[in-house]
């Protein structure tokens, strides 16, 4: 599978919020370098799985709207907005954050990620 198709499948399937689904997409040696509006984090596979589990517990539902996706030599750059419905107000959709990530794909899985985000 092409790297770009893998990334599209990941976001379109909602695997980013489902621990079991996410496991198929992330490499055992994953490293995610995340620069956010709140500081810098470096996450490994277990950290990312824990984040997905927390996302599933914290919101009724969520979705990702991809505005840009570009592939070059197995690296995929994605710009997207993450929308959520909070338990406190499930009828109102709000922007959780805006993201830009570059995924390096190895063995048909996400191997390294370089993420920047800003709260919505």
Q: What is the CATH number of the domain that holds 54?
A: 3.10.450.50
Work out how many domains the chain is built from and give that number: 1
Distance, first Cα to last Cα, the chain: 33
More confident residue, 113 or 60: 113
pTM of the model: 0.90
**How do residues 25-73 score in pLDDT, each as one tens digit?**
999 999 999 999 889 999 999 999 999 998 888 898 999 999 999 999 9
Name residue 106's beta-bridge partners: 109
- The CB-based long-range contact list for 34-42 (8 Å cut-off, 24+ gap) reads 34/113, 34/115, 34/116, 34/117, 35/115, 35/116, 35/117, 36/97, 36/115, 36/116, 36/117, 36/118, 37/117, 37/118, 37/119, 38/119
Range of the domain at 115: 3-119
Strands 75-86 and 109-119: unpaired
pLDDT at 13 over 80: yes
Coil, strand or helix: which one is 5?
A: helix
* The 3-state secondary structure of 8-51, one letter per residue: HHHHHHCHHHCHHHHHCCEEEEEEEEEEECCEEEEEEHHHHHHH
């Amino acid at each position: 599978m092409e790297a770009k198709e893998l990334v599209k499948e990941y976001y379109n399937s909602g695997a980013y919020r489902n621990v079991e689904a996410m496991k198929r997409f992330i490499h055992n040696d994953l490293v995610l370098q995340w620069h956010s509006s709140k500081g810098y984090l470096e996450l490994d596979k277990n950290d990312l799985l824990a984040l997905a589990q927390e996302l599933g517990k914290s919101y009724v539902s969520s979705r990702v709207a991809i505005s840009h996706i570009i592939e070059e030599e197995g690296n995929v750059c994605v710009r997207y907005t993450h929308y959520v419905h909070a338990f406190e107000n499930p009828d109102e959709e709000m922007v959780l954050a805006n993201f830009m990530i570059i995924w390096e794909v190895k063995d048909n899985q996400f191997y390294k990620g370089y993420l920047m985000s800003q709260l919505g």
